[in-house]
Amino acid sequence: MSKGVISKDEDYSQWFNDLIIKSDMAEYSPVRGCMIIKPYGYSIWEKIQAQLDKMFKETGHQNAYFPLLIPKSFFSKEASHVEGFAKECAVVTHYRLKNDGNGNIVVDEEAKLEEELIIRPTSETIIWNTYRGWIQSYRDLPILVNQWANVMRWEMRTRLFLRTSEFLWQEGHTAHATAEEAVAETEQMLDVYAEFAENWMALPVVKGRKTANERFAGALDTYCIEALMQDGKALQAGTSHFLGQNFAKAFDVKFTTRDNKQDFVWATSWGVSTRLIGALIMAHSDDAGLVLPPKLAPIQVVIVPIYKHPEELDAISEYVKGLTKELRSKDVTVKFDNRDTHRPGAKFAEYELKGVPLRVAIGSRDMQNGTVELARRDTKTKETVQQDGLAAHITALLEEIQTNIYTKASTFRAENTTEVDTYEEFKRMLDEQPGFISAHWDGTSETEQKIKDETKATIRCIPLNNKQEEGKCILTGNPSTQRVLFARAY
């Protein structure tokens, strides 16, 4: 256990919170439920952004920016949408403060807005109101737009990264001429998210569709990627929605089809948020601190000199200069920590806490022997290796670490995914070995709700390409044609 971080077996929630605070990723702000993302945490978000943005552009999307504030009347136009978000939105009512004459700054009641404005919890309404002006004909379609933005949902229970009142995210909003094209887009973006989660976050995910109960407010179909955390709870890491013509109808967005008819436009939206950083931490880290996959680590390699006399440091620094240059030319992010205010042991602990994948230690004896000591964060193993060919060895190791972290998470998920056939077994598993539970369900919202009320487990998704098999619902015994994935979730 690292200093100040509780063991995850003792208190998983506290462990998660401690890790974030101690590793300098983020902290709570004085504004209820909002967080301050500190440079170390933000640099992970920058890496996530850079890669996703690249993938969005490769699939033909462009970025744009829509207003933060949404008039209440727009917000109310799509009935199920407003139903879903009304309970948790921040409302702007005035546009001026004033000095009350006694030196107090107060809201100026004379500057009351005619119509209240909502801070966007998501932007479908303002965007579809805009698309009405952009779309006349099938020639204007598809529109493939994404926005990187902050959004606000007044959550009652908040947790750093996982659920905060304000969070950063991207929201794609696309418009299409046919339902088929919109569904294909929805599925394509789910694939992009899954590829990102698996190849960059080293996080295995299940791709699936949500049940009606768990759908996005205003969607006909919600696709999701679901990941398993180390405490056996599921985490929804990204969603992609097929919105049908709901928003086009609410905002009167019609187009002339190829055969010269009028039709409403088909829509999708899809998003991931700073929640991904929460998933990253929860999935891989241990009691000693963060474990970051090299592809998203702000620092991939840290070099720590071990010395007593300044002259020794000079020789080491000279060598490190060459090594650093070589590593940087291979796009490896390196930090040489030559601070004389901290002892090597303190530095080791710091970078362990911060999840730096690879540590290189070099002392005078190493310099004589032409060696260095390499320590891996993921396996906590050390080895002494030759300086000759070190840069190539390091890049290979970073790839190995990326793979190993993924494999470990994959194995964990496999060990914690169980098929059950009775409700007794279902409840017992949830208590004794929580994880994904694959079980038959009769397809009704009532059954789903009852299971949720009794066990706190929800249907995370109906996996795509699910095997069809005859079975009986664990609760009602009614016939079922496929298993669905249950879990308690974040």
Which residue ranges make up the site for a copy of itself (CB under 8 A)?
27, 29-31, 34-39, 42-43, 45-46, 62-72, 74-76, 82, 86-99, 105, 107, 116-119, 126, 129-130, 133, 139, 145, 149-150, 152, 154, 166, 168, 341
CB of 370 to a copy of itself, least distance (A): 34
CB nearer a copy of itself, residue 139 or residue 450: 139
CB nearer a copy of itself, residue 40 or residue 264: 40
CB nearer a copy of itself, residue 119 or residue 205: 119
Angle of helix 310-329 relative to helix 390-415, nearest 10 degrees, comes to 70
Q: Are 297 and 357 contacting, i.e. CB atoms less than 8 angstroms apart?
A: yes
CB of 219 to a copy of itself, least distance (A): 20
CB nearer a copy of itself, residue 37 or residue 323: 37
Tokens 């006399």 -> residue:
309
Token couple for 354: 């911060």
CB of 35 to a copy of itself, least distance (A): 8
CB of 99 to a copy of itself, least distance (A): 7
Question: Pairing mode, if any, of strands 166-176 and 69-71?
Answer: unpaired
CB nearer a copy of itself, residue 204 or residue 355: 355
Beta bridge partners of residue 149, listed in sequence order: 169
CB of 449 to a copy of itself, least distance (A): 22
CB nearer a copy of itself, residue 140 or residue 287: 140
- Closest residue by Cα to residue 268 from 220, 214, 226, 196: 220
Rg (CA), the chain: 26
CB nearer a copy of itself, residue 82 or residue 316: 82
DSSP 258: T
CB of 298 to a copy of itself, least distance (A): 9
DSSP 286: B
- Please give the span between the terminal C-alpha atoms of the chain, in angstroms, as a whole number: 25
What is the dihedral angle through the alpha carbons of 146, 149, 153, 156, rounded to the nearest 10 degrees?
A: 120
Tokens 């496929």 -> residue:
482
CB nearer a copy of itself, residue 88 or residue 399: 88
CB of 435 to a copy of itself, least distance (A): 33
CB of 304 to a copy of itself, least distance (A): 19
CB of 391 to a copy of itself, least distance (A): 23
Token couple for 88: 């948790």
Beta bridge partners of residue 374, listed in sequence order: 360, 383
DSSP H helices in 154-309: 179-199, 246-250, 275-284
CB of 256 to a copy of itself, least distance (A): 15
DSSP H helices in 164-271: 179-199, 246-250
CB nearer a copy of itself, residue 9 or residue 109: 109
Q: Are 85 and 151 contacting, i.e. CB atoms less than 8 angstroms apart?
A: no
Token couple for 230: 């180390």
Beta bridge partners of residue 437, listed in sequence order: 418, 486
Q: Which amino acid is present at 471?
A: G
Residue 64, SS3? coil
Distance separating alpha carbons of residues 279 and 296, to the nearest angstrom: 13
CB nearer a copy of itself, residue 267 or residue 457: 267
CB nearer a copy of itself, residue 29 or residue 455: 29
CB nearer a copy of itself, residue 123 or residue 211: 123
CB of 57 to a copy of itself, least distance (A): 10
Continuous segment of H or E residues that includes residue 227: strand 221-228
Sign of torsion over alpha carbons 238, 242, 245, 246: negative
DSSP 104: -
CB nearer a copy of itself, residue 97 or residue 396: 97
Tokens 């793979």 -> residue:
403
Who contacts 254 (Cβ-Cβ below 8 Å, separation ≥6)? Answer: 135, 248, 262, 263, 264, 265
Token couple for 393: 């060895």
CB of 85 to a copy of itself, least distance (A): 8
Q: Are 131 and 175 contacting, i.e. CB atoms less than 8 angstroms apart?
A: yes
CA atoms within 13 A on the CB side of 447: 20
CB of 32 to a copy of itself, least distance (A): 9
